[in-house]
Amino acid sequence: MSTHVTLKQIIDEFELETVCAFGEPETIRIEVADVTRPGLQLAGHFAHFGPDRIQLIGNMETAYLDSLSSEERLARIDALFSRGIPCMILTRQHDVFPEMEQCAERYAIPILRTNEITSEFMSSLIKYLNVELAPRASLHGVLVEVYGEGILILGESGVGKSETALEIVKRGHRLIADDLVEVRRVSDTTLLGRAPEIIRHLIEIRGVGILDVKELYGVSSVKMQENIHFVINLELWDEKKNYERVGVNDEHTDILGIDVPSITIPVRPGRNLAIIVEVAAINFRQKQMGYNSAKALMERVFGNKTNHGANGTN
C-alpha cells in the first residue's frame, strides 16, 4: 500500500481557503512530494510533466495568464486541467480567473488559495510532503532526547527500555515515543522518529501500568518528534560474550537503508542505564565534534611505548 496524504490534510495543515469546491478533498490522494509551478505548461509545453503533482500559481503565472485573451487563456488552462491534476493553489491571495472556475467545474478539480508568498509556501509544502510521504518503518523501542541528541533505544521485550526512559525523563530529558516508534526517512541522511498518535506521551511500566508522562512531569518532558542521531541496543548480559570495553570499534545499525551510529549495552542488576545513556549521548556528541577518547587513549599508550623505546636506544 503506497504512502499518501489526502488533500483535506493539506488544507487543514496550511489553513487553505477553498475557492472552488469541486471534487472531494478527503478522497484526493497526493503521493509525490514534488510541487509544480506550471509556467511552461501554460505556454503549451507538457514534456516530462507530472500530472500527479500539486500545481502552484504565483505572480509570474498570473501575469502571463492576464496577458492572454479570454479564449486563449481558456485553452491554456483547459489543457492543464485536462491532465487530471489533483488541485491548483493560488498564492498571494490572487483572484481566480473565470476560465479557471470553468475548467475546475468541468474536470472536478478544486482550486485553493493562500495569502503566503509563493516561494515560502512552496518550500513549506514540499517540506511537509517530504516528511509525510517519506519511507517509514515501525520499530519496537523507545525514543528519547538526551542533551539535544535523538537516542533510539532498542532491545527485546522486558529488557528495561521503558524503565530507562522514565528515569531519563526524571533526569530532565524528554520522551518522544515508548513501545512503538514510527521512523521516517526524510532524506538520504536523516531519520525522523515520532510516536503513533494513539500512544503519544504515554509510557508502560510493568507492574504499574500506563502513565501519561506529559501530565506527570509537564509539557517540557515530552516532544512530538526528533531526528534519530544514535542507537543504543540493550541486551541481557551474556557471560560468554565479549563486550566492547575500550570503544575503538564503531558499530552501526541499519534503519531504512541509513547506517546510524550505535552501541550495545549489556543489562544486569546494579547498572544505572539512565546514566549510561546520558554518558553515551555526551560521548557521541564529542565524537561528532572530532574528539574520540578511546582513540586518544590508544595514541597515548602507543605514543608512550614509542617514547620509551626511543629513550632506551639513546
- pLDDT tens, residue by residue, 263-313: 999 988 878 999 999 999 998 888 888 887 777 777 887 776 655 565 655
Name the one residue in this structure whose C-alpha cell is 526517512.
Answer: 185
Same domain (yes/no): 89, 176: no
Q: Residue 1 has what pLDDT? A: 43
CA distance 38 to 53: 10
Same domain (yes/no): 171, 156: yes
- Give 65's contacts (C-beta < 8 A, 6+ positions apart): 42, 73, 76, 77, 97
Catalytic residue among 76, 161, 174, 194: 161
Q: Any idea what DSSP says for residue 94?
A: P
- Catalytic annotation present for 245: yes
Q: Residue 117 has what pLDDT? A: 96
Same domain (yes/no): 21, 75: yes
- Catalytic annotation present for 12: no
Q: What is the CATH number of the domain that holds 31?
A: 3.40.1390.20
Q: Is residue 206 part of a domain?
A: yes
pLDDT in tens, 198-209: 999 999 998 899
H helices of 116-255, in order, are: 118-132, 161-170, 213-217
Q: Is residue 310 part of a domain?
A: no
Mean pLDDT of 240-253: 74
Same domain (yes/no): 157, 125: no
Per the CB < 8 A criterion, the answer to whether 277 and 231 are in contact is: no
Q: Residue 307 has what pLDDT? A: 59
pLDDT in tens, 38-54: 999 999 999 999 999 99
Same domain (yes/no): 118, 218: no
Mean pLDDT of 201-225: 94
Q: Is residue 308 part of a domain?
A: no
Per the CB < 8 A criterion, the answer to whether 165 and 68 are in contact is: no
CA distance 184 to 135: 6
Amino acid (1-letter code) at residue 12: D
Give the domain extent around 186: 136-296
Q: Is residue 309 part of a domain?
A: no
Terminal alpha carbon distance of the chain = 74
- Among 132, 148, 171, the domain boundary falls at 132
- Catalytic annotation present for 194: no
Q: What is the CATH number of the domain that holds 174?
A: 3.40.50.300
CA distance 125 to 147: 30
Catalytic residue among 92, 179, 285, 287: 179
Q: Is residue 305 part of a domain?
A: no
Mean pLDDT of 22-41: 93
Catalytic residue among 4, 29, 140, 308: 140
Same domain (yes/no): 72, 168: no
- Among 102, 132, 162, the domain boundary falls at 132
Q: What is the pTM of this model?
A: 0.78
Q: Number of structural domains, the chain?
A: 2
- Among 132, 160, 179, the domain boundary falls at 132
Mean pLDDT of 62-66: 96
Name the one residue in this structure whose C-alpha cell is 526524510.
Answer: 186
Catalytic residue among 48, 240, 245, 268: 245
Same domain (yes/no): 114, 261: no
- Catalytic annotation present for 308: no
Same domain (yes/no): 204, 64: no
The 3-state DSSP class for residue 100 equals helix
